Amino acid sequence: MVSLRGVDKHFGELHVLRSIDLEVAPREVVVVIGPSGSGKSTLCRTINRLEPIDAGEIRVDGQLLPAEGAQLAQLRADVGMVFQSFNLFGHLSVLDNVMLAPLKVRKASKATARSEAMALLERVGIADKADRVPAQLSGGQQQRAAIARSLAMHPKLMLFDEPTSALDPEMVNEVLEVMTSLAADGMTMVVVTHEMGFARRVADRVVFMAAGQIVEVAPPAEFFDATRSERARSFLSNVL
């Protein structure tokens, strides 16, 4: 579903992604962990083509990036992204937030967009909040609305960049539960998170990044219980 080969990226002098190779299979859940500043967000943003790369190639569902014009719009529709900050439109109801892209981009009919949006709000457990504006929701509910909004575009792949980092602790689980059920339904997912319990339970593979490089890739049991690199061991000793 996603393939990165030799991806390099600089911000000026700073070499943020160093020869990244990564394949994500359909229905696979890859959890990316690593210290702050190691390039995790940049990696997500390059997959979604929010950031250009300097070298290498990225394919999403076989399609080579860089894409432009209509191709780029299609690519963006195929790749859902959920950020730490919920990025909902504050002046629109939750339902309208979820209906917006299907109406504008997919040219869905209003009736179809509405019934699909309600089904998605049901799925993330906030159908009763459909007519509220985001400010009337808790952080956990807002993040679930943001997930529903992404899913409304029928993405082939979902990128999550620290989706629970801005939440009060008691709201983390409700968001992780939605993500866990998405994974169980077969969604292909790349998840940047510091939630090691989620990584252990839900990831097919854990990718550990440090200083712009992929240092270690392993199934979670192996990664957590038989960590190979000193860099990852030291990281884990600080977060576990």
Q: Could you list the residues that contact Mg ion (CB under 5 A)?
A: 40-41
Among residues 4, 41, 134, 150, the one that binds ligand ADP under rule CB under 6 A: 41
Residue for token digits 């629109």? 92
46 binds ligand ADP (CB under 6 A): no
CA separation for the pair 80, 3 (Å, rounded): 16
Out of Mg ion, ligand ADP, none, what residue 239 binds, judged by CB under 5 to 8 A for its kind, is: none
Tell me, by CB under 6 A, how many residues bind ligand ADP.
Answer: 11
Q: Residue 61: what are its φ and ψ, rounded to 5°?
A: 50, 45
Cβ at position 178, least distance to ligand ADP in Å: 22
Please, which residue, 6 or 26, has the CB nearer to ligand ADP? 6
CB-nearer residue toward ligand ADP: 28 or 161: 161
Q: Token match 């998170």: residue? A: 193
Helix (H/G/I), strand (E/B), else coil: 211: coil
Q: Does 42 bind ligand ADP (CB under 6 A)?
A: yes
64-70: Cβ within 8 A, 24+ apart: none
Q: In the structure encoding, which two tokens stand for residue 72, read together?
A: 């780029």
Tell me the per-residue interface mask from 153 to 172 with ligand ADP, x by CB under 6 A, - otherwise.
--------------------
Residue 212: exposure state from Cβ atoms within 10 A (0-12, 13-18, ≥19): buried
Closest CB 4 distance from ligand ADP, rounded Å = 14
Structure tokens belonging to residue 44? 């997500």
Residue for token pair 């859940």:
29
**Does 193 participate in binding ligand ADP (rule CB under 6 A)?**
no
Please, how many CA atoms are within 13 Å of residue 78, restricted to the half-sphere of its CB? 20
Instruction: Output the smallest distance, CB 23 to Mg ion, in A.
Output: 22
Q: Residue 231 CB, nearest distance to Mg ion (Å)?
A: 18
Residue 14 binds which entry of Mg ion, ligand ADP, none, with Cβ cut-offs from 5 to 8 Å by kind? ligand ADP
Residue 40 interacts with ligand ADP (CB under 6 A): yes or no: yes
| Cβ-contact 189, 47 below 8 angstroms | no
User: Which residues here bind ligand ADP, judged by CB under 6 A?
Assistant: 11, 14, 16, 34, 36-42
